[in-house]
Amino acid sequence: MAVDGPGDCSSLDALREHVGDCQRCALAATRNRLVFGVGDPHARLMFIGEAPGKNEDLTGEPFVGAAGKFLDELLDSIGLHRSQVYIANMVKCRPPGNRDPEPIELQTCAPFLARQIELIAPDVIATLGRFAAHYVLQVTEPITTLRGKLYHRDGRNIVPVFHPAAALYDSSKRGVLLDDFHRIRVVLDRAERGE
Footprint on this chain of ligand URA (rule: CB under 6 A): 49-53, 56, 62-63, 67-68, 89, 165
Given the complex with ligand URA, which of 52 and 160 has the nearer CB atom?
A: 52
User: What whole-number distance in Å separates Cα of residue 85 and Cα of residue 108?
Assistant: 25
Residue least distant from ligand URA (Cβ): 49
Surface-to-core class of residue 10, CB atoms within 10 Å of its CB (0-12 exposed, 13-18 middle, 19+ buried): exposed
Contact (CB, 8 A) for 91 and 20: no
Given the complex with ligand URA, which of 170 and 189 has the nearer CB atom?
A: 170
Q: How far is the CB of 39 from ligand URA (least distance, A)?
A: 12
| Length of the chain, in residues | 195
User: What whole-number distance in Å separates Cα of residue 168 and Cα of residue 186?
Assistant: 25
Given the complex with ligand URA, which of 97 and 194 has the nearer CB atom?
A: 97
User: What whole-number distance in Å separates Cα of residue 31 and Cα of residue 194?
Assistant: 42
**How many other CB atoms are there within 10 angstroms of residue 153's CB atom?**
12
Q: How far is the CB of 48 from ligand URA (least distance, A)?
A: 9
Q: How far is the CB of 109 from ligand URA (least distance, A)?
A: 13
Contact (CB, 8 A) for 177 and 167: yes
Given the complex with ligand URA, which of 2 and 132 has the nearer CB atom?
A: 132
Q: How far is the CB of 180 from ligand URA (least distance, A)?
A: 16
Q: How far is the CB of 116 from ligand URA (least distance, A)?
A: 14
Given the complex with ligand URA, which of 7 and 142 has the nearer CB atom?
A: 142
